[in-house]
Structure 1
Amino acid sequence: MAGEQTSVTIEDAALDTAASALIDELVAGSVASKLGAQDPTLWGADAESEAAIRLSWTTLHKSSRPLIGEIEALRTDLRSEGIDRIVLAGMGGSSLAPEVITGTESVALTVLDTTDPGQVADALAGDLERTVLVVSSKSGTTVETDSHRRIFAKAFADAGIDAASRIVVVTDPGSPLAELGESEGYRKVFLADPNVGGRYSALTAFGLVPAGLAGADVARLLDQAAVVADSLTADSVENPALRLAAALGAAHAGGAEKVVLADTGSGIAGLGDWAEQLIAESTGKHGIGLLPVVVEDSAAPGFRDAGADATPVAVGPADFGAKIAVTGPLGAQFLLWESAVAIAGRLLGIDPFNQPDVEAAKKAARSLLDDPAALSGSAEPSAVIGAVEVFAGAGTTAEGALADVLREFLGTAPEHGYLAVQAYLDRLDDASAALLRPELAKRAGLETTFGWGPRFLHSTGQYHKGGHPNGIFLQITGTPEHDLEVPERPYTLGQLQRAQALGDGQVLADAGRPVLRLHLTDRAAGLSELMRAVQELTS
């Protein structure tokens, strides 16, 4: 793998100078060694109780070792029965790390972090005779994951397969899912360390079990973390975690609250998507924070042309335009970023382990599910343009062509604001939606993020409500071709997906964030029309 040496280099001279002063403060305060000792006082009195039960991730390179044998034994048993297709039902911290691990090692893992009926149906259409479902949820009550479990359990039973023998659980001790796994006799219940938060759980059972069952070398991952662990707890100006934390903290203090992440040949598949949750959910609260902007590569809009409000970070060798470069193998990068973001939280004066604004969108979605009339949508669209229904919020009149609507909406962004594109669609069949990010970024002159809904709700959703209040939000929803019932629940996946979009949009609007929802009555046609409208905008 490229970049085996773990390092953080600060390429920008002014940022290096500002960061150096913070590094000296962190070294003088023994912050790194205190973090290694799991000192919960590092983030102040208000955060101490939460931090006291959230710091076991610092030693996972040691404490997760027993999992290696357990995972390999189960994988061997499954293979002996002809079961070699791994489907993971999990959201946020339960899915992001396994996806990066398996992608980096080029082993197959089907990830369900969606409520899109089409995407779930595609996973169901795989060979169930060869399939095991890993149900992964820290709380044990995640609605998306519970829905996937119910759908697959019925599919197994309908196919004449003993569902319990094909379901593996990863959860916290004492959770409702742990109790269910035991009472239903599921194939295996892995209990993770409860003193690790979801976004810091890459090296726990949440990251290792699905990846290991898929064939990834999880022992090597832990070895990579172990190699760098001592350097991350050293009170030294060479400590890469201190360097990265100080650079991010200094940049934020200078007005660069956005962190633009581009892979520059790291050999890691999609680290930015994992780091996105870690950074956004850890720092985006109380009206401040670091907004991660994951771009396609270092030539993409928003990286080399980043403004004063953004810090371009190369994941891999330093590239033209990067102000920071981070190198190292995947296991080391997991631990490095976790340490750096936790320390950056101290510099920003926030608790990096809570997520006070995540529950609001969940509550709004639940309320809509409980009110079928509201969910069915009595509100008429502001306009219908071809295959696109326009639902305009404050500041947008929806007059004219689709390009005019977009132009007016983009005009609601404040100076140094950002645009968040949120696609509640099929991540596989509607993959072309992701092309909107660079096209909009190029024309809007704003740092632009892209998230698949509801996946991003477990990631950047915290920042959208709790971070710097300068975002505008473009929601894209679409009528599914076919819906899926959720067994023993009064809603379908399509209704759940709709409730999540409308619920989050309402929470954002109530917080004064501009929201524009474009509903595609025909997904393929609507996406084509939307892309044409974007390309008509002045670049």
Structure 2
Amino acid sequence: MSFAVKVTGHVKSVVDEELPVLTGSLIASGITAGDATLWGPAAEEEASRRLGWVQAVSVSRPLVAEITALRDELVAQGVTRVVLAGMGGSSLAPEVIAQTAGVPLVILDSTAPGQVLAAIDGDAESGGLAQTVLVVSSKSGSTVETDSARRAFEAAYRDVGIDPAGRIVVVTDPGSPLETSAREAGYRVFTADPNVGGRYSALTAFGLVPTGLAGVDIDALLDEADATLLEVAIDSPENPALVMAAAIAGGGALRRDKLGLVTDGTHIIGLPDWIEQLVAESTGKNGTGILPVVLLPVSPELEDVPDDLRIVRLVDDAEQFHLFERHHDEVLVSGSLGAQFIVWEYATAIAGRLLGIDPFDQPDVESAKVAARGLLDARPEPAPPAFARDGVEVRVSDPALAAGGTLASVLDALWARIPADGYVNIQAYVNRLEVPQLAGLRELVAADAGRPTTFGWGPRFLHSTGQYHKGGPATGVFLQIVERTDVDLEIPGRPFTFGQLIQAQAAGDAGVLADGHGRPVVTLTLTDPQVDVLSLFEAAQ
């Protein structure tokens, strides 16, 4: 069996109650048959254009030879370093595929100027621009982050006398503006099935082109997925996708609306980050949803599990399930990466039906983009900080949050705004190559706030969990970390720089959260690159 799931305790009773309803509704076979009516009349039009992922394995098979041939051609030219410019599912799926295969792939899903420069320049180990091919992935063809990255790479290639036409590969939907411009420029273009949403695109050209060019055995990945297709298509209580959907979205009014994702010894690297964007963006709307929380095996949330947090533990082998029997009331999951993609996609779509929402739209994602564009056009001066201490400027959505005048008091005031069923979200709009330790804030904040805490690198999370923050339950409080840096980079053909873009994205999202949705937001601006943020937070605790 390519995928196995075991449920215990309370979650088993929930699953046992939901499975007869799910099997009786024929939803598994309905999804496989492309039935767009499964989510109700309001969702039918969207669903009719978003079920192509069910056939992704067969549709993608012909791509394998084409991608392999292009890789051989590039390697023969000494081009062995692959950079992927993509956002949301277009970058998160390739990231987990490459990491799990142990294959180097540079992911550029940031507008932080230092990170863009690092992607362009490369390093001694992986090679520099002369050895680099850029894959530009964008369904719409107009995603500002990927368009900006493409422009920067084009200029960089020309500066060193390299024709971009031989070094840029485009993955997009047929008929998009990017397809048109890319073909005119002579770039190699792969078009993906337009009936697949970005977060369901792991096994389409969006997942396969960058990873195949980087050297992943994508044929084997499709084999893994193929091996589980029959299991998820059958309306049976043994269907792992039905079990997973019941476990994460079942229970009715007593449902646990937060999903703790723990990797415990699995060979798959980074899968929770992909699951996070799939589940959060698919379900977080109409005031409901499932909030994924990516955890470590030693995270505070596991020491005393909140009543509203369902734990899913990802392990390497079903034969290891007995080793985790001490963890009562959990969902234990094992399986190949290809199988995980298939089961989670089915389970998330089925969860949408249980929640009564359309799992294929993202109605609140555009608001942050609109706000950022408005700020780029108007270029207002940033609001003065409430106060500044030790190289950190503090700005707040409500002056009362800053009344104490210290970082510790601001954090305490923010935690005090968390509802009993709430959560904390940390957003880091920084060059994460320079300060990867910022991710460690999640553990400190979770312990200090005493509630489930999520962490996202900005602006990448805007294309995934950003939907849940605005469209899901109004129970979140938000902590932004932004940086002031002398490093910047022009975006050719645009009236703004990467530095201005990422600042507008952070400020725009904060404004939408605070002004548009009434969410409490604290923004910490790091003005001194030597500031040790973890030390600041430890002191604040």
8 Å CA contact retained: 1:251, 1:257: no
CA distance in 2, matches of 1:291, 1:350: 15
**Partners of 1:303 and 1:362 in 2: CA distance:** 35
Query: What corresponds to 2:121 in structure 1?
Result: 125
SS of the residue 1:487 aligns to: coil
Q: Which one of 410, 414, 418 corresponds to residue 413 of structure 1?
A: 418
CA shift for structure 1 position 31: 1.0
User: In the alignment, is residue 19 of structure 1 matched against residue 15 of structure 2?
Assistant: yes
Q: For 2:402 and 2:254, how far apart are their aligned partners in 1?
A: 36
Q: Does 1:47 align with 2:43?
A: yes
Residue 7 of structure 1 corresponds to which residue in structure 2?
4
CA offset at residue 387 of structure 1? Answer: 0.5
For residues 261 and 279 of structure 1, the distance between their equivalents in structure 2, rounded to whole angstroms, comes to: 11
Q: Match for residue 235 of structure 2?
A: 235
Q: CA deviation at 1:401?
A: 2.2
Q: Deviations over 1:400-450 (max 9, x none)?
A: 321122111211111121000000011211101101000110111010000
- Residue 212 of structure 2 is matched in structure 1 by 212
The offset of 1:153, in angstroms, is: 0.2
Cα deviations by residue, 1:95-130 (Å, 9 ceiling, x for unpaired): 000000000011110110000011111111121111
Shift of 1:481: 3.1
Q: How much does 1:255 deviate?
A: 4.0
Q: Is the 8 A contact 2:276 2:293 kept in 1?
A: yes
Count of residue correspondences: 526
Query: Partner residue of 2:189?
Result: 189
The amino acid across from 1:496 in the alignment is: L
Two-structure CA RMSD over aligned residues (Å) = 1.2
Task: Look up the match of 2:200.
Answer: 200
The answer to whether 1:389 aligns with 2:393 is yes
Distance 1:273 1:231 in 2: 25
Aligned to 2:418, the other structure's residue is in SS state coil
Q: CA deviation at 1:537?
A: 4.9
Contact 1:87 1:132 survives alignment (8 Å): yes
Deviations 1:24-78 (A, max 9, x none): 1011111111111010011000000000010011121111100100100000000
The answer (yes or no) to whether the contact 1:156–1:162 under 8 Å persists in 2 is yes
Letter of the aligned partner of 1:168 in structure 2? Answer: V
Aligned partner of residue 334 in structure 1, secondary structure: helix
Paired letter, 2:177: P
Of 373, 376, 393, the match for 1:366? 373
Contact kept, 8 Å, 1:258 with 1:292, in 2: the verdict is yes
TM-score (norm 1): 0.96
Q: Is the 8 A contact 1:298 1:304 kept in 2?
A: no
- Structure 1 stretches of at least 4 aligned residues deviating more than 4 Å after TM superposition: none
Aligned to 2:110: 114
**Is the contact between residue 430 and residue 524 of structure 1 (CA under 8 Å) also seen in structure 2?**
no
Contact 2:279 2:348 in 1 (8 A): yes
Matches within 5 A, 1:248-327: 248-251=248-251, 253-295=253-295, 297-316=296-315, 318=321, 319=324, 320-321=326-327, 323-327=330-334
Looking at structure 2, the residues matched to 51 and 286 of structure 1 have their Cα atoms a distance apart, in angstroms, of 17
**Alignment of 1:516 onto 2:522:** yes
Deviation string for 1:274-294 (max 9, x for gaps)? 011100000000000000111
Residue 59 of structure 2 corresponds to residue 63 of structure 1: yes
State the identity as a percent.
52
Gap runs ≥5 in structure 2: 123-127
Equivalent position of 1:136 in the other structure: 137
CA distance in 2, matches of 1:289, 1:442: 24
1:14 offset after TM fit, Å?
2.0
Which blocks of at least 5 consecutive residues in structure 1 are unaligned?
none
Of 497, 508, 521, 1:503 maps to: 508
* 2:473 aligns with one of 468, 474, 477: 468
- Is the CA contact 1:289–1:468 (under 8 Å) kept in the aligned structure 2? yes
Q: Give the conservation status (yes or no) of the 8 Å contact 2:387–2:405.
A: no
Equivalent residues of 2:280, 2:464 under 8 A apart: yes
Matches within 5 A, 1:159-198: 159-186=160-187, 188-198=188-198
Instruction: State the SS of the aligned residue for 2:202.
Output: coil
With over 3 angstroms needed to count, the CA separation of the structure-2 counterparts of 1:335 and 1:306, relative to structure 1, is same
